[in-house]
Amino acid sequence: MSSRGDSGSSHAGTPVSEGQDQKDLFRGASEDGSSPRQGSEKGISRASVPAFVAGEELAELAKDDGRIVVLTADLASANRLNDFGARHPDRFFNFGIAEKNMITAAAGMASTGLMPFVGTFAAFAALLGYEQIRTDCAYPGMAVRILAHHSGMSMGYYGSSHHALEDIAAMRAVADLTVACATDGNQLRAMVRASLDLPGALYLRLGRGRDPEVYSTVPDDFVFGRANKLRDGEDVTIIATGSEVHPALAAAESLTVSGRSVRVLDMHTIKPLDVDAIVKAATETGAIVTVEEHGTIGGLGGAVAEVLADRRLGVPFLRHGVHDEYVEIGPPAALYAHYRLDAPGIIAVIDEFLTKG
């Protein structure tokens, strides 16, 4: 047992302290789940809202949609899918720490007409379950929705085994798989609703469950594959996805104050990619920086680079993310600062990029 001595349960662990970081990692709301808003003292721009709303949203949708079932792998309390389980116990299945079996079984369930939503850490969904997603979900066209939470480095000091900085690259290489990244709880609700009409399999990348709000209400015009222009500008376009949309917006605001005119695209869907929005950004603003909580190889930056190369759009371009390394140990906020993935970091990156010309 000594090799497992760090925690009783190898994936979820049990927070040993009641520190804020622990709560942030494993809770979508405050410890008792009662308070939807936290951290208002930090200012509106950093208002944290529970983003693990999929369980609650699905519980509502399941009242009218008999296809919906929810699966998880010993993480129902971490990803709040127990919000669904409490209301629909007959349609909720905990598979234990056996992600491969869970994902394939979801495909089997889908083949009988159900629509399984499968939640686990992104590292285990995408990397441990890669072949199951590709061979059992995408290839046969099964309507399985993977809710891959705690993506990127949002698990902080839990370390690289629990980080997913490769999942966008891996997932977007799979044919017949929709790949999208939710930036906050409201967008996640819109994505879950839209997924009910989406054919085939979906990989939905989620953050840490306590993500600052980008959309103040649930967007009613959400469409997979159509990027959202959150702010217009003329000097450069930041194309961001998922957890980096909020800091990218904050960075753009700040840069505007200092005389830079910055467009921001929320490229929530990685596949199918909104090629038109990228081409427009290149031709209208003349420069593009991609920002993602992901490696710079093959992710959003790679996808945008492919478009620019294919279309012979030789504009100044930079991929910002994690550069081919396993990240340092530390709390998420410290990591974001170190890797310049918070707003000040993005400001610095854009400044350097524009100054270099």
Partner 1 sequence: MSDPTNTVDFDRLKERALFVRLETLRLTRIAGAGHYSGTFSAAELFVVLYYHQLRLDPSRPDWPDRDRFVLSKGHAAIGLYPILADLGFFDSAQLETYTRFGSAFGDHPDMRKVAGIDFSSGSLGHGLSVGVGMALGARVQHRDFRTYVMVGDGELAEGQVWEAIMAAHHFKLGSLVCIVDRNQLGIDGPTEEIMSAEPIDDRFRAFGWNVQRINGHDLGQIVGAFDALATADSSTPQVVIADTIKGKGVKRMELDVNWHVGNLNDTDYEAVYEELVQGAGL
Q: Which residues would be at the binding site for partner 1 (CB under 8 A)?
A: 66, 69, 90-91, 93, 95-96, 98, 100-101, 104-114, 116, 131-132, 135-136, 139-141
Nearer to partner 1, 106 or 153 (CB): 106
In the complex, what is the shortest distance from the CB of residue 194 to partner 1, in angstroms, rounded to a whole number?
A: 23
Distance CA 96, CA 94 (A): 6
Nearer to partner 1 by C-beta: 50 or 116? 116
Query: What tokens appear for 282 in the block?
Result: 């290149």
- Strand pairing of 201-205 and 177-181? parallel
- Spatial contact of 200 and 228, defined as CB atoms under 8 Å apart: no
Q: Which amino acid is located at 109 in the chain?
A: M
Closest CB to partner 1 among residues 23, 91: 91
Q: What's the min distance (Å) between Cβ of 66 and partner 1? A: 8
Nearer to partner 1, 26 or 121 (CB): 121
Identify which of 45, 136, 54 has the alpha carbon closest to the alpha carbon of residue 99: 136
Q: 269 — phi, psi (to 5°)?
A: -105, 120
Q: Which is nearer to partner 1, 141 or 316 (CB)?
A: 141
Q: What is the DSSP pairing of strand 210-212 with strand 48-50?
A: antiparallel
Alpha-carbon span 217 to 186, nearest angstrom: 6
φ and ψ of 317, to 5 deg: -150, 140
Strand partners, 69: 116
